[in-house]
Structure 1
Amino acid sequence: MRRETKTKLKRWGVLTAKIVLALLVLLAAGYFIFRGMILEKVIAKIKEKTQTEYDATFSVKEARFRGLAGIDLTDVALVPNNADSLFKVSSIKADVNIMKLLVGSVQLEDLELRDGFIQLVKKDSIKNFDAFIKNKKDAAEVEVVTDNKKDYARKTYRILSRLLNLVPTDMKLTNLSLRINDNGKKAEVNLQELQLQDEQLETSIRVKTDTFAQRWRIKGMADPRDRKADLKFFNLDTGAIRVPYLDERYNLKAGFDSIRVNLSNLEMDGGELHVDGFASIAGLRINHKKIASKDVYINKARFDYNFLFGPDFIRIDSTSTGTLDKLKFHPFVEYSIAQDTTYALQIDIPKMKAQDFIESLPKGLFSHFEGMVAEGSFDYHLDFKYNKNKPRDIVLNSTLNKDGLKILKYGEADLAKINGNFTYRAIENGRPQRPISVGSGPNYTPLSQITPLLRHAVLTSEDPSFFSHKGFISEAFKQSIIKNIKTKKFARGGSTISMQLVKNVFLTREKTLSRKLEEILLVYVLENQRISSKERMLEVYFNIIEWGPNVYGITEAARFYFQKHPSELNLKECLFLASIIPSPKRFMWQFDDQGELRTAYSRHQERLTRLMFQRGLLHTEDTLYQIKKLLISGPARSYIKVRDEVELVKPDPEMDEFDF
């Protein structure tokens, strides 16, 4: 009985194997018989979609199968209607993984491309690639619909897997170019040859623009199936690699000696995607008027990254390490939609020598610190969190722990000069203005001779906690960040008097990243190294800031507006002077055609008065016998457009500034 059962099972097994084999043969036969027809239909569908959705023509001169899984295409082109060709390749030969193809996945095994180009052309406002860029409005609408269904980990993994599957294990590209023509600004990157074989990649690239020509090379290991790579990008010619197109298009000059990119891990684990590796750059040079007034140079920098994508967050893990010469830091960056939309940033700088920190600052970005010498060490921690739906709950904590930190020698910015006599020159549109003598002279007024009413009004308006803070006000920074995020621009700065003083005395008014970063560091040194007293800082501030057109210092301001000495100013005059500090050259717009303060500015001065009373800076007797009307009696009167003026001097149309 058992023998009969075994015999039957054996027969069924043989029969099943025959049926499966027959099906495979039929599938193979069908594949070979109908694959040409399927290929034609696929190409026809691409042509139709390109024409109807993108108003462009996709063409293939010849398409045929080669062997079991090879496809050969000749003269492939994509040409937008009434525009320059976007893409052309004379020959494409590709081999796909047949087993992956049977389960619906496309994975390239071999690829050979020869003689082709991608060109991006802009003539006036017309671009030949416009139709292929998604409409922003449509994209936003899709975002809203799919917002609750995001899974960053799986979506990113799917996209990266598809891209890596399209990178063949063996590849040869010959004479392929990327051309850019932006209204006559041209650049071309010609890939003369790229070869990937046995996981080793090597290229030969020529770059040509209207201003330079270079030869580049990319060399290293690339394994798309194991998802690993280690590539180095360098220049075959002498000198740094120059970045094409950016110099002419954005006036950004950038170059570097070499770049290395490493991908060591890309895997899903427990519903989270891990992407690990490092990137480094050597000899980076950048020049742009928004960054600094001179070249910025970074000798060497490296970022060992650990990216983590979850179902509802994207994160740079704190195990990542950034290195800038001798400076090391650990960043934590997270964007999350788990409950609310939140942003988080943490930066940790482990304990390091202060001198190593100074020497690691990018050259040209901190010019005033070059030559500075320090002793001791420090560590630093920044913690920032922002909830889009609860902006008032913003977290901003900055902690610096010092160990024997001391400045032994100042760099270009000699902060100690603030304690003695010096000459100050404001910079206006890049040009030094007339010299202002600080510490002596007829136009210099010591703090003791400036009415306390003006000191209280200015501090209330500009920096109420000046005598207690160390150069920065955390709450002001928080409010600045909230407003800047809401308006999507730098609409509010949060500067303290210390910051304004450093900006005026030691820096220029240029709006660059360099100037702002130097301002922050110089304020910290000035305040925390006890270089000058708060009283001396406030005295210098009053005597150098701009109070009007070509009006510098409180002595000139008191004469210009009221023909008085700073000690003689009354409360209303002090409130007015405090209110014009943010925009002193626009003071005349506070008045109407009757020479009276406009309602909004009167209310602002009333708010300042109330604040001064609440803080105990004003008493009832301070407001007794004060005139109700603000009278501008000095030369400033000529700037105010008063109708039917009789007793006052008529404005001089040729007078554009008050000359002292």
Structure 2
Amino acid sequence: MKKTRQKAILSLKIISVLLLLGLVLLFAFRNTILDKVIHRIDAKLERDYQCNFTIQKAEFHDLTNLEFHDISLVPHQKDTLVSIGELKTSVSFWKLLVGDIQLGKLEINKGFIQLVKTKNGSNFDAFLHSKKEKDEKAEVNYAKLLNRISSKLMDLVPTDMQVKGFAFRIDDKGNKVVFDFNELALANKKLTTIIQVTSDKFSQQWSINGFADPRDRKADLTFANAKNDTIIIPYIDKKFNLKSGFKSIHFNLENLAMNSGELHIEGYSSIQDLVVNNPKIANKDVIIKSARFDYHWIVGERFMALDSTSTVQLNNIKCQPYISYTNEKDKVYALKLKIPKMKAQDFISSLPKGLFRHFEGMEAQGNFSYALNFEYNNHKPKDVIFTSKLKPDGIKITKYGEADLNKINGNFVYRAVDKGVLQRPINVGPGNGNYTPLSLMSPYLKKCVLTSEDPSFMTHRGFINEAFRESITKNIRTKKFSRGASTISMQLVKNVFLTREKTLSRKLEEILLVYILENNRISSKDRMLEVYFNIIEWGPNVYGIAEASEFYFQKRPWDLNVNQCLFLATIIPNPKGFMAKFDANNKLKPAAKQTEKFLTNLMFKRNILMANDTIGNFPLEISGRAKFFLKQKPTSIDSDKTPVEEFEF
């Protein structure tokens, strides 16, 4: 026992001597080792990224403090990417022993990072491409990977930092913006930052202040204008035609840690007075007074999820989202969204200003709750789950905004918009000689159009979940909006109450207005269908079923037979391109005949048509003014779409 103890003591003494000797050698040759490390970095950047990396002076002060002078990184025949006049830092000795770098303090005086892009390329092109081939078969543990990356990033954030005279510059083919860090200091876990932002249109001073503890992985920061004014975001306005700004952003990171093999990320972010302007969003500024996102992300070995305990609040609208991605045998995407019971008026009042202009001034009574459930498996695309349920509780519209849905029940003037140009006014009512009541239209018109466009129109409440489900499946499979789920109710609202502008605003308003129209029984289905037939476009400058009957067949609406109604039904998605259905002899092409045969058989199968209905049906012949268009080139290709296949913004 005594000998064993003596051997252990001797071993400890030897290890201590060797460690001390190693430290002495490391201290004695630390600058030589540093020079070799710099040369290796220079060789790697030259070999892999075609860049010259130089440091005029680099030296240790004691064992952990380093000082560098005149650092530069210059891609071959490109603008300088990085230039730093003086950099002082300290590193954790114990971290260095295991091959990691953890910065204790950092001081930078003068320098810049600049990203320059010209018609001949950019000075950062080489860094955008990985030099290592990816092993697609290797399975990555998402939690461990993300934890490792976040740990290394946090270690590179010093606990004591002082930056002066440093700038970050962007020059994207003349679209320039400069971020000058007049002050950036982190001391005693308190961050203070003053940034002078300059572009060709404005100059502002930004501030980022608050609590930051990179070692404990926590932060609580406020991003605002130093002069308490609105922050304007540069660069993206010219790059993406997106003008945006906000009053302040608050970011909080409360927890970033591994727990039972899962990485948990918790905190919240909020923004005040957000303003966004983009032609694809809306035709005017969209303003969000306040928004907040309380997040709880969970990352596992093969999955990532936004936990259902997270909340998103938009003004007074509060919802509970759940998002997940699982990559095991199959890739499964899931989205769930719940809006707990809330007042309808609070919802209307909380809608972003400018995004729902037709709702501004609207007043409502009652409450509602909402639930959305979506799940998609890449190996089972036909089994996609999509349910959307809104539960109203005494909802009643007491005052309309710009869109007065009661208009549909009386006489009104309708004007179509074609490529942004208002078309001739059409009186929807008895004052118009071409106006045709539903009772005076051929019964086959209703049967054919509903079969082609919206088979469940008479029973649904504006939306068809099954159509949405099929639409999502096809759009994901084709990776584009190749199929939509537009109902006649949606087309009617779009035409009567909204513009044809292709914006997110218009589509969102369309969805909400359809729900109100259908679920508040504002108009009967027959009245909606009657208005629809009397206003939609059936051809070039042809509006309403009376004009269409004359234009194609020199008939009145009540005289149309099955074949003629089938033809009219199939051109609704693309009325100006009706010529594409005909060959050089003015006869229907095989594809068009096949579409009509499909619809006819479908109506027979559903007992919508009887054998007697097709007696006396002659081959389709265009006898009206439309025949003069048959020799013209179609304005767009008509693809003989199957029912409900257009998707429009």
- Regarding TM over 0.5, the answer is yes
Query: May I ask how many residue pairs the two structures share in their alignment?
Result: 632
User: Cα–Cα, structure 1 residues 142 and 464, in superposed 2: closer, same or farther, change >3 Å?
Assistant: same
Match in the other structure for 1:359: 349
Matched residue of 1:24: which SS?
helix
Contact 2:579–2:632 under 8 Å retained in 1: no
2:106 pairs, out of 99, 106, 111, with: 111
- Deviations, residues 188-216 of structure 1 (Å, cap 9, x unaligned): 11111100000000011000111111000
Match in the other structure for 1:93: 88
Contact 2:27–2:62 under 8 Å retained in 1: no
Match in the other structure for 1:327: 317
Match in the other structure for 1:225: 215
Aligned-partner residue type, residue 333 of structure 1: I
- Asked if residue 195 in structure 1 is aligned to residue 190 in structure 2, the reply is no
Deviation (angstroms), 1:17: 4.6
Which residues of 2 match residues 423-502 of structure 1 at below 5 A? Answer: 423-440=413-430, 441-502=432-493
Distance 1:431 1:306 in 2: 48
Distance 1:380 1:247 in 2: 35
Matched residue of 1:68: which SS?
coil
- Deviations, residues 120-144 of structure 1 (Å, cap 9, x unaligned): 1111151111111026xx88x7262
Match in the other structure for 1:307: 297
Spell out structure 1 runs of 4+ moving beyond 6 A. none
- Asked if residue 54 in structure 1 is aligned to residue 49 in structure 2, the reply is yes
Deviation (angstroms), 1:21: 3.0
Deviation (angstroms), 1:451: 0.2
Contact 2:110–2:166 under 8 Å retained in 1: yes
Match in the other structure for 2:121: 126
- Deviations, residues 423-476 of structure 1 (Å, cap 9, x unaligned): 001112222111011012112111011101111111110000000100001111
Distance 2:233 2:400 in 1: 36
Distance 1:565 1:499 in 2: 27
Distance 2:549 2:515 in 1: 32
Contact 2:405–2:517 under 8 Å retained in 1: yes
Matched residue of 1:142: which SS?
coil
- Deviations, residues 528-580 of structure 1 (Å, cap 9, x unaligned): 00000000000000001111111111111111111111111122111111111
Deviation (angstroms), 1:13: 6.1
Question: Aligned-pair RMSD on alpha carbons?
Answer: 1.6
2:520 pairs, out of 519, 529, 533, with: 529
Which residues of 2 match residues 138-177 of structure 1 at below 5 A? Answer: 142=134, 144-146=136-138, 149-177=139-167
Aligned-partner residue type, residue 199 of structure 1: K
Aligned-partner residue type, residue 37 of structure 1: T
- Deviations, residues 132-168 of structure 1 (Å, cap 9, x unaligned): 1026xx88x726233xx12111100000000001111
- Asked if residue 210 in structure 1 is aligned to residue 200 in structure 2, the reply is yes
Deviation (angstroms), 1:106: 1.1
Contact 1:217–1:233 under 8 Å retained in 2: yes
Match in the other structure for 2:644: none
Deviation (angstroms), 1:26: 0.6
Larger mean CA deviation between 530-539 and 596-605 belongs to 596-605
Identity %: 54
Distance 2:446 2:480 in 1: 32
Q: Give me the TM-score of the superposition, normalised by structure 2.
A: 0.95
Matched residue of 2:263: which SS?
strand
Match in the other structure for 1:553: 544
- Asked if residue 602 in structure 1 is aligned to residue 597 in structure 2, the reply is no
- Deviations, residues 358-404 of structure 1 (Å, cap 9, x unaligned): 11111111111111111111111111111111011111111222222
User: Cα–Cα, structure 1 residues 613 and 529, in superposed 2: closer, same or farther, change >3 Å?
Assistant: same
Matched residue of 2:67: which SS?
strand
Match in the other structure for 2:621: 631
1:538 pairs, out of 513, 529, 535, with: 529
Distance 2:593 2:312 in 1: 52
Matched residue of 1:144: which SS?
coil
Match in the other structure for 1:33: 28
Matched residue of 2:284: which SS?
coil
Aligned-partner residue type, residue 290 of structure 1: K
Contact 1:592–1:642 under 8 Å retained in 2: no
Q: Which consecutive unaligned segments of at least 5 residues does structure 2 have?
A: 634-649
2:378 pairs, out of 388, 400, 407, with: 388
Contact 1:593–1:642 under 8 Å retained in 2: no
Distance 2:94 2:632 in 1: 88
Match in the other structure for 1:567: 558
Distance 1:248 1:239 in 2: 22
Contact 1:595–1:642 under 8 Å retained in 2: no
1:368 pairs, out of 322, 343, 358, with: 358
Contact 2:369–2:390 under 8 Å retained in 1: yes
- Deviations, residues 52-87 of structure 1 (Å, cap 9, x unaligned): 211221111111111111111111111111111111
Matched residue of 2:313: which SS?
strand
- Asked if residue 256 in structure 1 is aligned to residue 237 in structure 2, the reply is no
Match in the other structure for 1:622: 613
Deviation (angstroms), 1:19: 2.3
1:518 pairs, out of 509, 512, 527, with: 509
Q: Give me the TM-score of the superposition, normalised by structure 1.
A: 0.94
Distance 1:462 1:14 in 2: 89
- Deviations, residues 464-493 of structure 1 (Å, cap 9, x unaligned): 000010000111101111111122222222
Distance 1:343 1:594 in 2: 51
Deviation (angstroms), 1:350: 1.0
Match in the other structure for 2:642: none
Contact 2:535–2:544 under 8 Å retained in 1: yes
Deviation (angstroms), 1:119: 1.1
Distance 1:275 1:238 in 2: 31
Match in the other structure for 1:656: none
Contact 1:329–1:349 under 8 Å retained in 2: yes
Aligned-partner residue type, residue 225 of structure 1: R
Larger mean CA deviation between 232-241 and 456-465 belongs to 232-241
- Deviations, residues 69-119 of structure 1 (Å, cap 9, x unaligned): 111111111111111111111111110011111122211101111211111
Larger mean CA deviation between 437-446 and 159-168 belongs to 437-446
